[in-house]
Structure 1
Protein backbone atom coordinates (compact mmCIF):
# COMPACT_ATOMS: atom_id res chain seq x y z
CA UNK A 1 0.00 0.00 0.00
CA UNK A 2 1.32 3.44 -0.86
CA UNK A 3 0.13 7.02 -0.72
CA UNK A 4 -0.67 7.13 -4.43
CA UNK A 5 -3.01 4.14 -4.09
CA UNK A 6 -4.87 5.87 -1.28
CA UNK A 7 -5.43 8.97 -3.41
CA UNK A 8 -6.61 6.74 -6.27
CA UNK A 9 -8.98 4.91 -3.93
CA UNK A 10 -10.45 8.13 -2.53
CA UNK A 11 -11.02 9.60 -5.99
CA UNK A 12 -12.64 6.43 -7.31
CA UNK A 13 -14.83 6.17 -4.21
CA UNK A 14 -16.12 9.70 -4.78
CA UNK A 15 -16.76 9.40 -8.52
CA UNK A 16 -17.93 5.77 -8.52
CA UNK A 17 -16.85 5.71 -12.15
CA UNK A 18 -13.59 4.19 -13.38
CA UNK A 19 -13.21 6.35 -16.50
CA UNK A 20 -14.01 9.63 -14.73
CA UNK A 21 -11.65 8.81 -11.88
CA UNK A 22 -8.83 7.93 -14.30
CA UNK A 23 -9.31 11.25 -16.12
CA UNK A 24 -9.23 13.20 -12.86
CA UNK A 25 -6.06 11.38 -11.80
CA UNK A 26 -4.45 11.76 -15.26
CA UNK A 27 -3.76 8.03 -15.55
CA UNK A 28 -5.11 5.29 -17.80
CA UNK A 29 -8.15 3.29 -16.77
CA UNK A 30 -6.21 -0.03 -16.82
CA UNK A 31 -3.58 1.49 -14.51
CA UNK A 32 -6.24 2.61 -12.06
CA UNK A 33 -8.00 -0.76 -12.21
CA UNK A 34 -4.73 -2.61 -11.61
CA UNK A 35 -3.82 -0.35 -8.69
CA UNK A 36 -7.18 -0.98 -7.00
CA UNK A 37 -6.92 -4.72 -7.56
CA UNK A 38 -3.51 -4.76 -5.90
CA UNK A 39 -4.87 -2.71 -2.97
CA UNK A 40 -7.74 -5.16 -2.48
CA UNK A 41 -5.31 -8.07 -2.54
CA UNK A 42 -3.15 -6.46 0.11
CA UNK A 43 -6.14 -5.67 2.33
CA UNK A 44 -7.80 -9.04 1.75
CA UNK A 45 -11.19 -7.44 1.07
CA UNK A 46 -13.24 -6.27 -1.90
CA UNK A 47 -13.55 -2.47 -1.78
CA UNK A 48 -15.76 -2.01 -4.87
CA UNK A 49 -18.53 -3.88 -6.64
CA UNK A 50 -20.09 -3.30 -10.06
CA UNK A 51 -23.58 -1.85 -10.44
CA UNK A 52 -24.32 -1.82 -14.16
CA UNK A 53 -21.77 0.42 -15.89
CA UNK A 54 -20.74 2.05 -12.64
CA UNK A 55 -19.18 0.80 -9.43
CA UNK A 56 -19.88 1.47 -5.79
CA UNK A 57 -18.17 0.89 -2.48
CA UNK A 58 -18.78 -2.31 -0.57
CA UNK A 59 -19.39 -2.06 3.15
CA UNK A 60 -15.67 -2.80 3.58
CA UNK A 61 -14.83 0.00 1.18
CA UNK A 62 -17.08 2.40 3.14
CA UNK A 63 -15.33 1.37 6.34
CA UNK A 64 -11.86 1.85 4.84
CA UNK A 65 -12.76 5.19 3.18
CA UNK A 66 -13.38 6.93 6.51
CA UNK A 67 -9.83 6.10 7.64
CA UNK A 68 -8.31 7.05 4.29
CA UNK A 69 -10.04 10.44 4.27
CA UNK A 70 -8.89 11.25 7.80
CA UNK A 71 -5.36 10.15 7.02
CA UNK A 72 -5.12 12.12 3.78
CA UNK A 73 -6.64 15.19 5.42
CA UNK A 74 -4.04 15.01 8.19
CA UNK A 75 -1.25 14.67 5.63
CA UNK A 76 -2.57 17.61 3.61
CA UNK A 77 -2.81 19.77 6.74
CA UNK A 78 0.67 18.69 7.77
CA UNK A 79 2.02 19.53 4.32
CA UNK A 80 0.38 22.97 4.45
CA UNK A 81 1.64 23.63 7.99
CA UNK A 82 5.16 22.53 7.12
CA UNK A 83 5.27 24.75 4.04
CA UNK A 84 4.15 27.69 6.18
CA UNK A 85 6.71 26.79 8.85
CA UNK A 86 9.65 26.79 6.46
CA UNK A 87 8.39 29.59 4.23
CA UNK A 88 10.83 32.51 3.96
CA UNK A 89 7.84 34.85 4.30
CA UNK A 90 5.69 33.11 6.93
CA UNK A 91 8.02 30.74 8.79
CA UNK A 92 8.42 30.39 12.54
CA UNK A 93 11.72 30.83 14.36
CA UNK A 94 12.51 29.46 17.83
CA UNK A 95 14.91 32.02 19.31
CA UNK A 96 16.79 31.67 22.60
CA UNK A 97 18.77 34.40 24.35
CA UNK A 98 20.51 34.97 27.65
CA UNK A 99 18.78 36.99 30.35
CA UNK A 100 20.85 40.15 29.83
CA UNK A 101 19.62 40.50 26.24
CA UNK A 102 15.92 40.43 27.15
CA UNK A 103 15.38 44.07 28.17
CA UNK A 104 17.05 45.69 25.16
CA UNK A 105 19.14 43.84 22.58
CA UNK A 106 16.77 41.00 21.62
CA UNK A 107 13.73 43.31 21.30
CA UNK A 108 15.86 45.74 19.28
CA UNK A 109 16.86 43.03 16.80
CA UNK A 110 13.24 41.97 16.30
CA UNK A 111 12.08 45.55 15.89
CA UNK A 112 14.69 46.22 13.21
CA UNK A 113 14.02 42.90 11.49
CA UNK A 114 10.27 43.55 11.35
CA UNK A 115 10.84 46.91 9.66
CA UNK A 116 11.28 44.98 6.41
CA UNK A 117 7.89 44.32 4.81
CA UNK A 118 8.85 40.80 3.70
CA UNK A 119 9.60 39.85 7.33
CA UNK A 120 6.33 40.97 8.93
CA UNK A 121 4.60 37.56 8.73
CA UNK A 122 7.51 35.63 10.22
CA UNK A 123 6.62 34.56 13.76
CA UNK A 124 8.82 33.83 16.77
CA UNK A 125 8.80 31.83 19.96
CA UNK A 126 11.26 32.81 22.69
CA UNK A 127 13.27 31.08 25.36
CA UNK A 128 15.46 32.75 28.00
CA UNK A 129 18.11 31.09 30.13
CA UNK A 130 21.81 30.98 30.85
CA UNK A 131 24.30 30.17 28.13
CA UNK A 132 24.74 26.55 29.21
CA UNK A 133 21.01 25.79 29.05
CA UNK A 134 20.54 27.70 25.82
CA UNK A 135 23.32 25.81 24.04
CA UNK A 136 21.94 22.50 25.31
CA UNK A 137 18.55 23.38 23.81
CA UNK A 138 20.24 24.36 20.57
CA UNK A 139 21.97 20.98 20.35
CA UNK A 140 18.73 19.13 21.05
CA UNK A 141 16.98 21.22 18.36
CA UNK A 142 14.51 22.83 20.76
CA UNK A 143 15.66 26.19 19.42
CA UNK A 144 16.90 27.31 16.01
CA UNK A 145 19.13 30.25 16.98
CA UNK A 146 20.81 31.24 20.23
CA UNK A 147 22.09 34.65 21.32
CA UNK A 148 24.60 33.95 24.04
CA UNK A 149 28.16 34.17 25.29
CA UNK A 150 30.64 31.38 24.60
CA UNK A 151 31.85 29.34 27.56
CA UNK A 152 34.23 27.21 25.51
CA UNK A 153 34.51 26.52 21.75
CA UNK A 154 32.23 23.71 20.61
CA UNK A 155 32.81 21.77 17.40
CA UNK A 156 29.05 21.24 16.97
CA UNK A 157 28.17 24.93 17.09
CA UNK A 158 29.03 27.87 14.86
CA UNK A 159 29.55 31.09 16.85
CA UNK A 160 29.49 34.45 15.10
CA UNK A 161 30.31 37.56 17.20
CA UNK A 162 27.71 40.31 16.93
CA UNK A 163 28.29 42.66 19.88
CA UNK A 164 30.37 43.31 22.97
CA UNK A 165 28.80 43.57 26.39
CA UNK A 166 30.16 45.95 29.01
CA UNK A 167 30.66 44.48 32.48
CA UNK A 168 30.30 46.83 35.45
CA UNK A 169 30.40 46.81 39.22
CA UNK A 170 27.25 47.75 41.11
CA UNK A 171 27.07 48.74 44.77
CA UNK A 172 24.29 50.02 47.06
CA UNK A 173 23.82 53.80 46.98
CA UNK A 174 25.04 54.16 50.58
CA UNK A 175 28.10 51.95 50.05
CA UNK A 176 31.66 53.31 50.63
CA UNK A 177 32.47 52.65 46.94
CA UNK A 178 29.37 54.55 45.74
CA UNK A 179 31.39 57.79 45.48
CA UNK A 180 33.43 56.29 42.62
CA UNK A 181 32.67 56.42 38.90
CA UNK A 182 35.41 53.93 37.96
CA UNK A 183 37.32 51.28 39.86
CA UNK A 184 40.18 48.81 39.85
CA UNK A 185 38.67 45.50 40.96
CA UNK A 186 41.58 45.05 43.35
CA UNK A 187 39.81 47.63 45.53
CA UNK A 188 36.78 45.37 46.03
CA UNK A 189 38.58 42.67 48.03
CA UNK A 190 37.24 43.79 51.40
CA UNK A 191 33.56 43.65 50.49
CA UNK A 192 31.05 40.76 50.28
CA UNK A 193 29.84 39.77 46.81
CA UNK A 194 26.58 38.67 45.26
CA UNK A 195 27.65 36.24 42.51
CA UNK A 196 26.10 34.41 39.60
CA UNK A 197 25.85 30.68 40.12
CA UNK A 198 28.33 28.33 38.47
CA UNK A 199 25.89 27.40 35.68
CA UNK A 200 25.94 30.96 34.42
CA UNK A 201 27.84 31.67 31.21
CA UNK A 202 29.31 34.88 32.64
CA UNK A 203 30.57 33.35 35.90
CA UNK A 204 33.92 32.16 34.39
CA UNK A 205 34.56 35.65 33.00
CA UNK A 206 33.93 37.32 36.36
CA UNK A 207 36.03 34.75 38.22
CA UNK A 208 38.87 35.32 35.77
CA UNK A 209 38.64 39.10 36.16
CA UNK A 210 38.85 38.88 39.95
CA UNK A 211 41.66 36.32 39.82
CA UNK A 212 43.67 38.64 37.58
CA UNK A 213 43.77 41.26 40.36
CA UNK A 214 44.27 38.60 43.08
CA UNK A 215 40.83 39.02 44.63
CA UNK A 216 39.22 36.00 46.24
CA UNK A 217 35.61 37.17 46.53
CA UNK A 218 33.65 36.71 49.73
CA UNK A 219 30.48 35.33 48.14
CA UNK A 220 27.45 35.63 50.40
CA UNK A 221 24.91 34.27 47.89
CA UNK A 222 24.63 33.12 44.30
CA UNK A 223 21.85 34.06 41.86
CA UNK A 224 20.82 32.99 38.38
CA UNK A 225 20.03 36.23 36.58
CA UNK A 226 20.78 39.92 36.52
CA UNK A 227 17.61 41.42 37.99
CA UNK A 228 17.91 39.27 41.09
CA UNK A 229 21.52 40.37 41.55
CA UNK A 230 20.55 44.02 41.17
CA UNK A 231 17.78 43.60 43.73
CA UNK A 232 20.02 41.98 46.34
CA UNK A 233 22.70 44.62 45.83
CA UNK A 234 20.16 47.44 46.09
CA UNK A 235 19.05 46.10 49.47
CA UNK A 236 22.62 46.09 50.78
CA UNK A 237 23.44 42.38 50.77
CA UNK A 238 26.67 42.83 48.85
CA UNK A 239 28.26 44.20 45.69
CA UNK A 240 28.05 42.58 42.26
CA UNK A 241 29.67 42.35 38.84
CA UNK A 242 27.35 41.94 35.89
CA UNK A 243 26.67 43.12 32.32
CA UNK A 244 25.50 46.71 31.97
CA UNK A 245 21.81 46.13 31.29
CA UNK A 246 19.50 49.11 30.84
CA UNK A 247 17.28 47.99 33.72
CA UNK A 248 20.05 48.85 36.21
CA UNK A 249 18.95 52.48 35.91
CA UNK A 250 15.77 51.56 37.79
CA UNK A 251 17.48 50.00 40.80
CA UNK A 252 18.93 51.83 43.79
CA UNK A 253 22.50 50.99 42.87
CA UNK A 254 25.58 52.91 41.77
CA UNK A 255 26.99 51.70 38.46
CA UNK A 256 30.78 51.82 38.42
CA UNK A 257 32.96 51.43 35.32
CA UNK A 258 35.74 48.83 35.67
CA UNK A 259 39.14 50.16 34.54
CA UNK A 260 41.19 47.13 35.57
CA UNK A 261 41.41 44.37 34.52
CA UNK A 262 40.65 44.86 30.85
CA UNK A 263 38.34 42.26 29.33
CA UNK A 264 36.30 41.35 26.31
CA UNK A 265 32.85 39.84 26.69
CA UNK A 266 31.30 39.08 23.31
CA UNK A 267 27.75 38.16 22.44
CA UNK A 268 27.39 35.60 19.66
CA UNK A 269 24.68 34.29 17.39
CA UNK A 270 24.96 30.51 17.60
CA UNK A 271 23.62 27.88 15.21
CA UNK A 272 24.36 24.19 14.71
CA UNK A 273 27.03 23.34 12.18
CA UNK A 274 26.09 21.26 9.12
CA UNK A 275 22.43 21.50 10.12
CA UNK A 276 19.37 22.44 8.10
CA UNK A 277 18.01 25.90 8.76
CA UNK A 278 14.66 26.93 7.37
CA UNK A 279 14.69 29.84 4.90
CA UNK A 280 13.22 32.22 7.50
CA UNK A 281 15.80 31.14 10.08
CA UNK A 282 18.67 31.68 7.63
CA UNK A 283 17.33 35.12 6.74
CA UNK A 284 17.07 36.11 10.42
CA UNK A 285 20.50 34.67 11.27
CA UNK A 286 22.12 36.63 8.44
CA UNK A 287 20.26 39.77 9.50
CA UNK A 288 21.51 39.44 13.10
CA UNK A 289 25.10 39.03 11.97
CA UNK A 290 24.98 42.02 9.61
CA UNK A 291 23.11 44.28 12.03
CA UNK A 292 25.22 43.40 15.06
CA UNK A 293 28.57 43.69 13.36
CA UNK A 294 27.71 46.95 11.58
CA UNK A 295 25.98 48.71 14.48
CA UNK A 296 27.97 47.38 17.43
CA UNK A 297 31.27 45.69 16.64
CA UNK A 298 32.24 48.10 13.84
CA UNK A 299 31.36 51.16 15.92
CA UNK A 300 32.75 49.94 19.25
CA UNK A 301 29.33 50.42 20.84
CA UNK A 302 28.62 48.03 23.71
CA UNK A 303 25.29 46.66 24.86
Structure 2
Protein backbone atom coordinates (compact mmCIF):
# COMPACT_ATOMS: atom_id res chain seq x y z
CA UNK A 1 0.00 0.00 0.00
CA UNK A 2 1.37 3.41 -1.00
CA UNK A 3 0.72 6.90 0.38
CA UNK A 4 -0.27 8.02 -3.11
CA UNK A 5 -3.04 5.42 -3.12
CA UNK A 6 -4.36 6.80 0.18
CA UNK A 7 -4.30 10.39 -1.09
CA UNK A 8 -6.16 9.39 -4.22
CA UNK A 9 -8.66 7.24 -2.33
CA UNK A 10 -9.52 10.06 0.10
CA UNK A 11 -10.07 12.49 -2.76
CA UNK A 12 -12.42 10.08 -4.55
CA UNK A 13 -14.19 9.15 -1.31
CA UNK A 14 -14.90 12.77 -0.42
CA UNK A 15 -16.18 13.70 -3.87
CA UNK A 16 -17.68 10.32 -4.85
CA UNK A 17 -16.96 11.31 -8.44
CA UNK A 18 -13.96 10.02 -10.38
CA UNK A 19 -13.81 12.88 -12.92
CA UNK A 20 -14.02 15.63 -10.29
CA UNK A 21 -11.45 13.85 -8.12
CA UNK A 22 -9.05 13.52 -11.06
CA UNK A 23 -9.47 17.23 -11.79
CA UNK A 24 -8.79 18.19 -8.17
CA UNK A 25 -5.68 15.99 -8.10
CA UNK A 26 -4.46 17.17 -11.54
CA UNK A 27 -4.17 13.61 -12.86
CA UNK A 28 -5.89 11.75 -15.66
CA UNK A 29 -9.05 9.84 -14.86
CA UNK A 30 -7.58 6.60 -16.18
CA UNK A 31 -4.53 6.96 -13.91
CA UNK A 32 -6.75 7.64 -10.91
CA UNK A 33 -9.03 4.69 -11.69
CA UNK A 34 -6.06 2.33 -11.97
CA UNK A 35 -4.63 3.55 -8.65
CA UNK A 36 -7.94 3.00 -6.86
CA UNK A 37 -8.24 -0.45 -8.43
CA UNK A 38 -4.74 -1.38 -7.20
CA UNK A 39 -5.65 -0.25 -3.70
CA UNK A 40 -8.80 -2.38 -3.75
CA UNK A 41 -6.74 -5.33 -5.00
CA UNK A 42 -4.24 -4.82 -2.15
CA UNK A 43 -7.05 -4.70 0.41
CA UNK A 44 -8.97 -7.58 -1.13
CA UNK A 45 -12.34 -5.79 -1.01
CA UNK A 46 -14.18 -3.18 -3.12
CA UNK A 47 -14.33 0.25 -1.49
CA UNK A 48 -17.06 1.71 -3.72
CA UNK A 49 -20.36 0.61 -5.17
CA UNK A 50 -20.32 1.52 -8.85
CA UNK A 51 -23.39 2.30 -10.92
CA UNK A 52 -22.30 3.47 -14.35
CA UNK A 53 -20.09 6.50 -13.72
CA UNK A 54 -21.45 7.06 -10.24
CA UNK A 55 -19.50 6.00 -7.16
CA UNK A 56 -20.75 5.49 -3.65
CA UNK A 57 -18.66 4.51 -0.64
CA UNK A 58 -19.75 1.11 0.62
CA UNK A 59 -19.31 -0.15 4.19
CA UNK A 60 -15.73 -1.26 3.50
CA UNK A 61 -14.90 2.15 2.03
CA UNK A 62 -16.54 4.07 4.88
CA UNK A 63 -14.58 2.19 7.51
CA UNK A 64 -11.31 2.44 5.59
CA UNK A 65 -11.78 6.17 4.96
CA UNK A 66 -11.72 6.92 8.71
CA UNK A 67 -8.44 5.00 9.08
CA UNK A 68 -6.87 6.52 5.99
CA UNK A 69 -7.74 10.07 7.04
CA UNK A 70 -6.34 9.41 10.50
CA UNK A 71 -3.10 7.98 9.09
CA UNK A 72 -2.49 10.90 6.74
CA UNK A 73 -3.52 13.35 9.47
CA UNK A 74 -0.79 12.01 11.77
CA UNK A 75 1.81 12.18 8.99
CA UNK A 76 0.83 15.77 8.26
CA UNK A 77 1.16 16.66 11.96
CA UNK A 78 4.66 15.17 11.90
CA UNK A 79 5.58 17.41 8.96
CA UNK A 80 4.20 20.46 10.78
CA UNK A 81 6.15 19.65 13.93
CA UNK A 82 9.44 19.19 12.07
CA UNK A 83 8.86 22.39 10.10
CA UNK A 84 8.19 24.26 13.32
CA UNK A 85 11.42 22.96 14.86
CA UNK A 86 13.56 23.72 11.81
CA UNK A 87 12.05 27.11 10.81
CA UNK A 88 10.22 28.61 13.80
CA UNK A 89 10.19 32.13 12.32
CA UNK A 90 8.59 31.19 9.00
CA UNK A 91 5.55 29.30 7.85
CA UNK A 92 1.87 29.75 7.09
CA UNK A 93 -0.97 30.17 9.55
CA UNK A 94 -4.15 28.46 8.37
CA UNK A 95 -7.27 30.24 9.63
CA UNK A 96 -11.02 29.95 9.18
CA UNK A 97 -13.70 32.51 10.10
CA UNK A 98 -17.47 32.74 9.93
CA UNK A 99 -17.19 36.55 9.86
CA UNK A 100 -14.17 38.61 8.87
CA UNK A 101 -15.17 41.87 10.59
CA UNK A 102 -12.70 41.46 13.46
CA UNK A 103 -9.92 39.74 11.58
CA UNK A 104 -8.07 42.75 10.06
CA UNK A 105 -7.31 44.23 13.48
CA UNK A 106 -6.23 40.88 14.91
CA UNK A 107 -4.00 40.08 11.91
CA UNK A 108 -2.42 43.53 12.02
CA UNK A 109 -1.55 43.09 15.68
CA UNK A 110 -0.08 39.66 14.99
CA UNK A 111 1.85 40.78 11.91
CA UNK A 112 3.50 43.49 13.99
CA UNK A 113 4.85 40.67 16.17
CA UNK A 114 5.66 38.12 13.44
CA UNK A 115 6.15 39.94 10.10
CA UNK A 116 7.55 36.86 8.29
CA UNK A 117 4.52 34.66 8.86
CA UNK A 118 2.09 34.20 5.97
CA UNK A 119 -1.68 33.84 6.40
CA UNK A 120 -4.27 31.81 4.57
CA UNK A 121 -7.78 32.80 5.67
CA UNK A 122 -11.02 31.15 4.54
CA UNK A 123 -14.54 32.54 5.02
CA UNK A 124 -16.65 29.53 5.97
CA UNK A 125 -20.13 28.48 6.93
CA UNK A 126 -20.44 26.63 10.23
CA UNK A 127 -20.57 23.22 8.54
CA UNK A 128 -17.60 23.99 6.30
CA UNK A 129 -15.66 25.02 9.39
CA UNK A 130 -16.50 21.78 11.18
CA UNK A 131 -15.30 19.79 8.16
CA UNK A 132 -11.92 21.55 7.96
CA UNK A 133 -11.43 21.35 11.73
CA UNK A 134 -12.17 17.63 11.79
CA UNK A 135 -9.68 17.09 8.96
CA UNK A 136 -7.08 19.11 10.87
CA UNK A 137 -6.59 21.45 7.91
CA UNK A 138 -6.69 24.73 9.88
CA UNK A 139 -4.74 25.98 12.90
CA UNK A 140 -7.54 28.05 14.42
CA UNK A 141 -11.03 29.23 13.60
CA UNK A 142 -13.01 32.19 14.88
CA UNK A 143 -16.59 31.05 14.92
CA UNK A 144 -20.03 32.11 15.96
CA UNK A 145 -21.63 29.96 17.23
CA UNK A 146 -19.22 27.81 19.28
CA UNK A 147 -18.94 24.17 18.23
CA UNK A 148 -19.36 21.30 20.66
CA UNK A 149 -17.60 18.19 19.36
CA UNK A 150 -15.27 15.73 21.11
CA UNK A 151 -12.25 16.34 18.87
CA UNK A 152 -12.61 20.13 18.63
CA UNK A 153 -11.29 22.48 21.30
CA UNK A 154 -13.53 25.49 21.93
CA UNK A 155 -12.95 28.64 23.99
CA UNK A 156 -15.57 31.40 24.06
CA UNK A 157 -13.66 34.69 23.82
CA UNK A 158 -16.42 37.31 23.54
CA UNK A 159 -20.16 37.82 24.06
CA UNK A 160 -21.33 40.05 21.19
CA UNK A 161 -24.76 41.78 21.25
CA UNK A 162 -26.81 41.69 18.03
CA UNK A 163 -28.17 45.05 16.83
CA UNK A 164 -30.67 46.10 14.17
CA UNK A 165 -29.16 48.26 11.42
CA UNK A 166 -31.52 50.61 9.56
CA UNK A 167 -30.99 53.34 6.91
CA UNK A 168 -30.87 56.91 8.24
CA UNK A 169 -34.19 57.70 6.44
CA UNK A 170 -35.95 54.69 7.98
CA UNK A 171 -39.06 55.17 10.10
CA UNK A 172 -37.16 53.76 13.10
CA UNK A 173 -33.97 55.78 12.60
CA UNK A 174 -34.80 58.21 15.42
CA UNK A 175 -35.14 55.34 17.91
CA UNK A 176 -32.44 53.79 20.11
CA UNK A 177 -34.19 50.42 20.43
CA UNK A 178 -36.90 48.36 18.77
CA UNK A 179 -38.90 45.22 19.51
CA UNK A 180 -38.80 42.26 17.18
CA UNK A 181 -42.57 42.48 16.70
CA UNK A 182 -42.13 45.91 15.08
CA UNK A 183 -39.97 44.33 12.37
CA UNK A 184 -42.43 41.74 11.09
CA UNK A 185 -43.24 43.66 7.87
CA UNK A 186 -39.70 44.82 7.12
CA UNK A 187 -37.44 43.74 4.26
CA UNK A 188 -34.16 42.21 5.44
CA UNK A 189 -30.71 41.72 3.98
CA UNK A 190 -28.61 38.96 5.49
CA UNK A 191 -26.17 36.13 5.04
CA UNK A 192 -27.29 32.70 3.89
CA UNK A 193 -28.65 29.96 6.12
CA UNK A 194 -25.69 28.13 7.65
CA UNK A 195 -23.91 31.23 8.95
CA UNK A 196 -24.06 31.61 12.73
CA UNK A 197 -25.74 35.02 13.03
CA UNK A 198 -28.39 34.14 10.43
CA UNK A 199 -29.27 30.84 12.08
CA UNK A 200 -29.35 32.48 15.53
CA UNK A 201 -31.66 35.32 14.49
CA UNK A 202 -33.95 33.06 12.47
CA UNK A 203 -34.44 30.95 15.60
CA UNK A 204 -35.06 34.00 17.82
CA UNK A 205 -37.57 35.42 15.35
CA UNK A 206 -39.40 32.08 15.11
CA UNK A 207 -39.71 32.04 18.89
CA UNK A 208 -41.83 35.22 18.72
CA UNK A 209 -43.79 34.18 15.64
CA UNK A 210 -41.86 36.21 13.06
CA UNK A 211 -40.35 35.07 9.77
CA UNK A 212 -37.99 37.72 8.37
CA UNK A 213 -38.57 38.55 4.69
CA UNK A 214 -35.10 38.38 3.13
CA UNK A 215 -34.69 40.26 -0.14
CA UNK A 216 -30.95 39.56 -0.22
CA UNK A 217 -28.99 36.56 1.04
CA UNK A 218 -25.22 36.41 0.54
CA UNK A 219 -22.00 34.98 1.93
CA UNK A 220 -20.18 38.25 2.65
CA UNK A 221 -21.33 39.66 6.03
CA UNK A 222 -19.29 42.86 5.56
CA UNK A 223 -21.43 43.82 2.54
CA UNK A 224 -24.67 43.98 4.54
CA UNK A 225 -24.11 47.44 6.06
CA UNK A 226 -23.68 48.94 2.57
CA UNK A 227 -26.93 47.35 1.43
CA UNK A 228 -28.63 48.81 4.48
CA UNK A 229 -27.16 52.24 3.70
CA UNK A 230 -28.52 51.93 0.15
CA UNK A 231 -32.01 51.32 1.54
CA UNK A 232 -32.30 47.74 0.23
CA UNK A 233 -33.37 46.41 3.62
CA UNK A 234 -32.54 46.32 7.30
CA UNK A 235 -30.17 43.81 8.91
CA UNK A 236 -29.20 42.07 12.12
CA UNK A 237 -25.59 43.13 12.72
CA UNK A 238 -23.26 42.02 15.56
CA UNK A 239 -21.98 45.00 17.57
CA UNK A 240 -18.37 44.18 16.68
CA UNK A 241 -19.22 44.43 12.96
CA UNK A 242 -20.46 48.03 13.19
CA UNK A 243 -18.88 50.42 10.75
CA UNK A 244 -19.12 54.02 11.91
CA UNK A 245 -18.05 55.33 8.50
CA UNK A 246 -21.34 54.11 7.07
CA UNK A 247 -24.29 56.46 7.54
CA UNK A 248 -26.79 54.09 9.15
CA UNK A 249 -28.37 53.73 12.59
CA UNK A 250 -27.96 50.82 15.01
CA UNK A 251 -30.81 49.95 17.37
CA UNK A 252 -30.80 47.67 20.39
CA UNK A 253 -33.35 44.84 20.47
CA UNK A 254 -35.94 45.27 23.22
CA UNK A 255 -37.24 42.47 25.45
CA UNK A 256 -34.74 39.98 24.08
CA UNK A 257 -31.08 39.91 25.12
CA UNK A 258 -29.82 38.64 21.77
CA UNK A 259 -26.09 37.92 21.68
CA UNK A 260 -23.74 35.74 19.72
CA UNK A 261 -20.82 33.92 21.30
CA UNK A 262 -17.52 34.25 19.47
CA UNK A 263 -15.28 31.23 20.01
CA UNK A 264 -11.74 30.25 19.17
CA UNK A 265 -11.66 26.68 17.80
CA UNK A 266 -8.93 24.15 17.08
CA UNK A 267 -8.49 20.43 16.49
CA UNK A 268 -7.36 18.84 19.76
CA UNK A 269 -4.93 16.49 18.00
CA UNK A 270 -3.47 18.99 15.53
CA UNK A 271 0.09 20.08 16.26
CA UNK A 272 -0.01 23.68 17.50
CA UNK A 273 3.15 25.45 16.40
CA UNK A 274 4.79 28.23 18.37
CA UNK A 275 3.53 30.68 15.78
CA UNK A 276 -0.03 29.40 16.19
CA UNK A 277 0.28 29.62 19.97
CA UNK A 278 1.35 33.26 19.65
CA UNK A 279 -1.62 33.93 17.37
CA UNK A 280 -3.91 32.50 20.04
CA UNK A 281 -2.39 34.85 22.62
CA UNK A 282 -3.00 37.84 20.34
CA UNK A 283 -6.66 36.80 19.89
CA UNK A 284 -7.21 36.45 23.64
CA UNK A 285 -5.52 39.79 24.36
CA UNK A 286 -7.61 41.55 21.70
CA UNK A 287 -10.95 40.32 23.01
CA UNK A 288 -9.90 41.09 26.58
CA UNK A 289 -9.20 44.67 25.46
CA UNK A 290 -12.57 45.20 23.75
CA UNK A 291 -14.37 43.57 26.69
CA UNK A 292 -12.87 46.21 28.99
CA UNK A 293 -14.00 48.97 26.62
CA UNK A 294 -17.64 47.87 26.83
CA UNK A 295 -17.74 47.68 30.65
When residues 244 and 144 of structure 1 are mapped into structure 2, their CA distance, relative to the original with a 3 A threshold, is same
2:146/2:154 contact within 8 Å kept:
no
When residues 300 and 231 of structure 1 are mapped into structure 2, their CA distance, relative to the original with a 3 A threshold, is closer
1:159 partnered with 2:154: yes
When residues 165 and 179 of structure 1 are mapped into structure 2, their CA distance, relative to the original with a 3 A threshold, is same
Query: Mean alpha-carbon deviation: is it higher for 84-93 or for 260-269?
Result: 84-93
When residues 301 and 134 of structure 1 are mapped into structure 2, their CA distance, relative to the original with a 3 A threshold, is farther
Secondary structure in 1 aligned to 2:195?
coil
Cα separation, 2, equivalents of 1:138 and 1:286: 20
Number of the residue aligned with 2:195: 200
Alignment of 1:3-152 (within 5 A): 83=83, 87-101=87-101, 105-116=102-113, 119-150=114-145, 152=147
Query: Structure 2: which 5+ runs fail to align?
Result: 1-78
When residues 282 and 171 of structure 1 are mapped into structure 2, their CA distance, relative to the original with a 3 A threshold, is same
1:224 partnered with 2:224: no
Query: Structure 1: which 5+ runs fail to align?
Result: 1-78
What do the CA deviations read for 1:156-192 (whole angstroms, capped 9, x no partner)? 2111111222311112222211121211222111222
TM-score by length of 2: 0.63
What do the CA deviations read for 1:33-82 (whole angstroms, capped 9, x no partner)? xxxxxxxxxxxxxxxxxxxxxxxxxxxxxxxxxxxxxxxxxxxxxx9x95
Secondary structure in 2 aligned to 1:248?
coil
What do the CA deviations read for 1:206-255 (whole angstroms, capped 9, x no partner)? 11222343322223332222233223323323221122355633334322
1:213/1:261 contact within 8 Å kept:
no
Aligned match of 2:288 in 280, 294, 297? 294
When residues 251 and 292 of structure 1 are mapped into structure 2, their CA distance, relative to the original with a 3 A threshold, is closer
Number of the residue aligned with 1:188: 183
CA RMSD across the alignment: 2.9
When residues 273 and 246 of structure 1 are mapped into structure 2, their CA distance, relative to the original with a 3 A threshold, is closer
1:135/1:146 contact within 8 Å kept:
no
User: Alpha-carbon deviation of 1:146?
Assistant: 0.7
1:164/1:301 contact within 8 Å kept:
no
Structure showing greater Rg: 1
1:138/1:272 contact within 8 Å kept:
yes
Secondary structure in 1 aligned to 2:120?
strand
